[in-house]
Structure 1
């Protein structure tokens, strides 16, 4: 049976609260005059565009923002096996999240429950341990059942008293459990008598006892699976109807130690995410430091990811480390034996997913409850490596070994951490030359960038590697961000022969544990809600179509003035000094000169840090401060040369020279020694959202003076470093607010006309369906809201609305609302 036959027929992804209204075609003015038209869409239904795979849109899950522990993984107890450590987070101890009434010691000795489960709590008689879980406490619902379990050991018979309570008193009937003998798992079930979000689980002991793996799970998990997923979050993910599931990261994958298990040192803390650590009984899985600053229990491990992918009908796409660290660490591990072990682990992973129950790893899968294969077809090696040649050397070895043993597996490479630049270009060239099947691209840019780059993939080599857009977002959760992403997605669909997979990222965020913004779905311990971006993704993912129908649209007249604005100086996690600032107009006039022989009265401090004139230089002395900007000049300045001498004194990076400064959120700056002092690049900030326009590898040496010059002419900028031209760019791309794409649903023959109008006025549009014979009524779904609108726990201003369009034919006129995304489903007769 094909995958398509198992998926629901394409619908319009409407919520139960959608409003049913009837919309008519825009009528012509009186006296037979033609309606006023702003845009024209022309469709050619006789031709075929790119085929769209079932897997076009998917999900990327990473344990960031407490997305897994404290989120999708439904376990309510935090630090259930007393494994938290200062290696995970400086504020952690082995009893983090536990309150002790009495005497308890966390022990790591030969009496442990399992070699992987290092710590356990040794409690004295009369001691009670209480856990408040995540957020404000345990969230319990009146009448719901909760399954408790604990591994315990006691030499003499002792009784555990198990209690659920909050400040208002008991939340369920107290349970008692007798413990005697060696390690054994004990279970109990609670039924909550009240609803609370501040509950606590208390375990009291009448005698000396050892406790480990203390757990409390809601009975009502996703698909009622014991030890499973939080229902509301999993259902929101499933509602997207994802075509694939990429896991477990992200930066989580290729950071930390790649080391092996050692008999003398045991598991390495901050060990990189390795799939074998995450399978088997949960009490035998080793917890680990998480790159994002907390501990991960691995209760949500590879088996659970595979199972969830199967549950939602998604293609599993695991990512394994390539022994080149990324995400700012930038280190290539040189160890042939370790590399061979990781390659073998990847081969074993494929066997775990697809192998028969008679194979070593297929048997382990079956023992966990899944005798049949998971149908793995793709494996990604590496993630955002910033050392392109070192990464590709290792990737090639993984690829050769995988293709030799499993020729049907697609091995996915990547192009580094950004949408352009030296790493991106080098990796793409290496991937093309080697005939790699698929390359993962990542970028987080401003809404303006997404509006400007709808045609990004139009010019990609049709015979080269396919694109997996594994991570993208427009740096915000307003509807304005969603509009920009939707406009970009029309370009993804138009180029579905190149872009085979695409996933927004990150997907989940616990509002009390945020390391990254924006995020698709937000939650706390009591509720979850989809962002405006979620509604956009859901609309597209539920209404993909099977093939692009060629279409064209007129564009919006646009006039871009020259780059204009004041100038600025800044640092980031660095102390630096600046001298001899000169700004000269193109006609030779001096606009600004400052050698800091006197007070810095021309400069306005708009950021952090500590600035002062010192020894005839303007110095920023706080080595820990970020974005310490000071500005000078007039926002109307244009066509000028900015010259400055800069010297790094100490710190992690270099310094920044700003130009075209309009205000604190809108400017350009040349970031020298940025990204951990690995690159120089120009970034444009649009309302605080940054886009990298040009970048090259480079470092800044402490104590060395650098002569910097920025020449601005119209929208062209040329940059000089120490008297030599470093680079140039022209910022003249148009942020087109009106975008569209047309696809066809093979099952129904319907045309799906998808239109984004990201501007504050309606777009009166003529639609020419090229003579197609269509029904007179069409179904419409509209997302429309103010660009600043954001969904929250208590309000959903961005939600789909259903309507019916009547009186249409192969040509009609429709007014697409201001700031809207509109899907027209038109049935052909």
Structure 2
């Protein structure tokens, strides 16, 4: 299934797996992963919670890239792991380790490590051309695996280019906390690796993200991207369509976006550690998510020149974005791996006296204070009150013990539809507002911060329709808006394959309504045409091991007339139309 995607390159070994956790010994150390498999020490993969034999080691990754016909892209450790780092003035051993790895991959058999590669069964060089210096190691917060990144980058870059002057060097930018990461250094860099894990609506709204990106300085490599909020269970059609729109935007701006890679690829259904993944398997079967088929359709239909598209949006006048916040809902308290106390002070300036219904956890009431005494996750206590979506809620809360802080639940309709203000979440490292729609959770705002144990905090949430403001004590934490899980509309791109004269038109319909599309090529006469569609009755439809082709591409022959083609565009669909002279 991976080979069927015809990947142009293969990024390895990750990801957080590159960095490791707790100690440098837990990082990916390439030299420990080569040679006879039974002699490799292996290591505990703390980042993802299982032991790895390193049976798939540095050599196997290179061999896999070669077997796939893909260029290997090696990600190196810059002396940083989750929870610690080697001081920047002491990282020469890490640089040496990288140069040794490159000699193993690229050196001839007369070099020390090239000879070792030949001994291990591959006399010819593997020829690494792309190398990424670090993984997500350039956050503004230096405590987030980001110590002195630009200094580290320069030392690695200069050492690598001194020996391999034609190497393509990739740098890190902020990987979370912003939608607009920047390279904040005068150091030259060829490509920047941007990572985006968002909801379907974010990807569709960012169709034109790179249209106004500055040209002439560096290129972009979107090294990790996927819908990880609002994707269903295994990965829905809706998620795949959001990604398709984003990919179409990247293709339209391929003078800036040079490379992109979906992440992650594989998941063992018997031991899931991340969702979603585009190829999922058990001991005897495998299936692709709708995102897999989007990746395949996009990769199989690439032209050589971008064509300008003038599109009339049929939904512009008929689809209005309704208020997301429910007209009537309830509020409540919640904890996640923590024990905390809460007191509701007032709603809209007036004291309230209401009862609460525990949904999960060990809740007890003393006067007006509600305390949760379990370290379970997602313990909720929902008030028996109706609140509109124009309200100001004031409460106070205290963390008594545990790993995280406390949560204010609002817009509560049922267990699958609500929002919450999460204070001291994510291991007591961040505050955030999350939105749950039909059971799918997505983060709409986040900020670094923590909650102290034993201290009472004043919390204010002000809501005006979809607009939200939240204060912790007197600090305004968030001023944001609720967002839809989907962005409805029609998105179109077109390319020309100059070698064959074929025109490829991509049409993504993220709306719940079908439409008819008239493709007018202005004098470019077409003799034959076909359309390959990825669609399903519902946007939430997905594949599974039991139903692997519920969302699957189907091709049909079309009947063009001179330079025009009428096309039915189903709701929730990606349509790849090829037109041949």
What is the number of equivalent residue pairs in this alignment? 560
CA shift at 1:392, angstroms? 4.0
User: Any idea what SS the aligned residue of 1:552 has?
Assistant: coil
Q: 2:152 aligns with which of 394, 413, 427?
A: 394
Q: Deviations over 1:171-193 (max 9, x none)?
A: xxxxxxxxxxxxxxxxxxxxxxx
Contact 1:257 1:272 in 2 (8 A): no
Structure 2 CA distance for aligned equivalents of residues 809 and 524 of structure 1? 50
| Partner secondary structure for residue 395 of structure 1 | helix
1:361 aligns with 2:116: no
1:593 correspondence with 2:365: no
Alpha-carbon distance in 1 for matches of 2:263, 2:478: 31
Q: Please report the TM-score for the alignment, with normalisation by the length of structure 2.
A: 0.89
Partner of residue 638, structure 1: 389
Aligned mate of 1:571, from 323, 329, 335:
335
Instruction: Report the alpha carbon displacement of residue 247 of structure 1 after superposing the two structures with TM.
Output: 1.0
Q: Show the counterpart of 1:374.
A: 126
> Cα offset for 1:751?
0.9
8 A Cα contact 1:274 1:320, kept in partner: no
Report the 3-state secondary structure (helix = DSSP H, G, I; strand = E; otherwise coil) of the residue aligned with 1:303. Answer: helix
Secondary structure of the residue that 1:512 maps to in structure 2?
coil
Distance in 2, matches of 1:467 and 1:480, equals 26
2:44 is aligned, of 289, 292, 297, to 289
In the alignment, which residue of structure 2 is the partner of 1:349?
101
Which residue of structure 2 lines up, in the alignment, with residue 483 of structure 1? 241
Cα distance in 2 between the residues matched to 1:401 and 1:635: 64
Q: CA deviation at 1:389?
A: 4.7
Residue 397 of structure 1, CA deviation: 2.8
Structure 2 contact 22–84 (Cα < 8 Å) conserved: no
| 1:238-261 residue CA offsets vs partner (Å, 9 max, x unmatched) | 0000111011111211123554xx
Q: Does 1:441 align with 2:194?
A: yes
Match of 2:417 in 1: 666
Structure-1 residue corresponding to 2:346 = 582
Distance of 2:146 and 2:569 partners within structure 1: 45
Aligned to 2:265: 507
CA, structure 1 residues 630+404, in 2 after alignment: closer, same or farther (shift >3 Å)?
farther
Q: Hey, what's the Cα distance between the residues in 1 that align with 2:472 and 2:205? A: 29
Which residue of 1 is the match for residue 524 of structure 2?
773
Contact kept, 8 Å, 2:88 with 2:152, in 1: the verdict is no
Partners of 2:562 and 2:124 in 1: how far apart?
50
Whether 1:468 aligns to 2:221 is yes
1:819–1:646 Cα change, 3 Å: same
d(CA) in 2 for partners of 1:285 and 1:413?
Answer: 30
Instruction: Give the one of 16, 24, 46 matched to 1:251.
Output: 16
Compared with structure 1, are the counterparts of its residues 577 and 809 closer, same or farther at alpha carbon in structure 2 (3 Å cutoff)? farther
Are 1:315 and 2:71 matched, yes or no? yes
Q: CA deviation at 1:616?
A: 4.0
Q: Report the equivalent of 1:306.
A: 62
Which residue does the alignment assign to 1:678? 429
Cα offsets for 1:537-589 (capped at 9, x unmatched): 111111122232121323333433443443332222111111134221xxx6x
Cα distance change, pair 605–388 in 1 and its aligned pair in 2 (3 A):
same
**Counterpart in the other structure of 1:797:** 550
- Cα offsets for 1:644-681 (capped at 9, x unmatched): 11111112222222333343333332222222222222
Contact 2:560–2:566, Cα closer than 8 Å, also in 1:
no
Q: 2:285 aligns with which of 506, 524, 527?
A: 527
Distance 1:451 1:617 in 2: 44
Q: SS in structure 2 opposite 1:765?
A: strand
Cα distance in 1 for residues equivalent to 2:436 and 2:208: 21
Contact 1:549 1:743 in 2 (8 A): yes
Q: How far, CA to CA, are the matches of 2:442 and 2:390 in structure 1? A: 22
1:323 deviates by 2.6
CA 1:335 to 1:767, structure 2 compared with 1: closer, same or farther past 3 Å?
Answer: closer
Counterparts of 2:126 and 2:262, CA distance in 1: 24
Matched, 1:806 2:564: no
Between the aligned partners of 1:743 and 1:707, the Cα distance in structure 2 is 56
Contact 2:279 2:288 in 1 (8 A): yes
> CA 1:700–1:257 in 2, change beyond 3 Å: closer, same or farther?
closer
After superposition, give the CA deviation of every residue in 1:216-244 in whole Å (9 maximum; x if it has no partner).
xxxxxxxxxxxxxxxxxxxx110000111
Q: Secondary structure of the equivalent of 2:170?
A: strand
- Structure-2 residue corresponding to 1:272: 27
Secondary structure of 1:668 counterpart? strand
Q: CA deviation at 1:398?
A: 2.1
What is the alpha-carbon distance in structure 1 between the residues aligned to residue 505 and residue 569 of structure 2?
Answer: 12
Write the deviation string for residues 269-310 of structure 1: whole angstroms up to 9, x where unpaired. xx2111111112223222111232222112211111111111
Deviation at 1:414, TM superposition (A): 2.4
RMSD of the alignment, in Å?
Answer: 2.5
Cα 1:690–1:491 shift into 2, 3 Å: farther
- Tell me, yes or no, if structure 1 residue 822 matches structure 2 residue 562: no
1:731 CA displacement? 4.3
1:719 shift after superposition: 2.1
Distance in 2 (CA, whole Å) between partners of 1:577 and 1:499 is 49
Q: For residues 464 and 605 of structure 1, do their structure 2 counterparts lie closer, same or farther at Cα, with a shift above 3 Å needed?
A: farther
Q: Secondary structure at the match of 1:239?
A: helix
- Per the TM alignment, residue 434 of structure 1 is displaced from its structure 2 partner at its CA by 3.2
SS in 2 for 1:286: coil
Please tell me whether Structure 1 or Structure 2 has the larger radius of gyration of its CA atoms.
1
Separation in 1, partners of 2:187, 2:371? 49
In structure 2, C-alpha distance between the alignment counterparts of 1:484 and 1:697, rounded to whole Å: 28
CA distance in 1, matches of 2:219, 2:322: 37
C-alpha distance in 1, partners of 2:72/2:123?
A: 17
| Shift, 1:429, TM fit | 4.2
SS in 2 for 1:428: coil
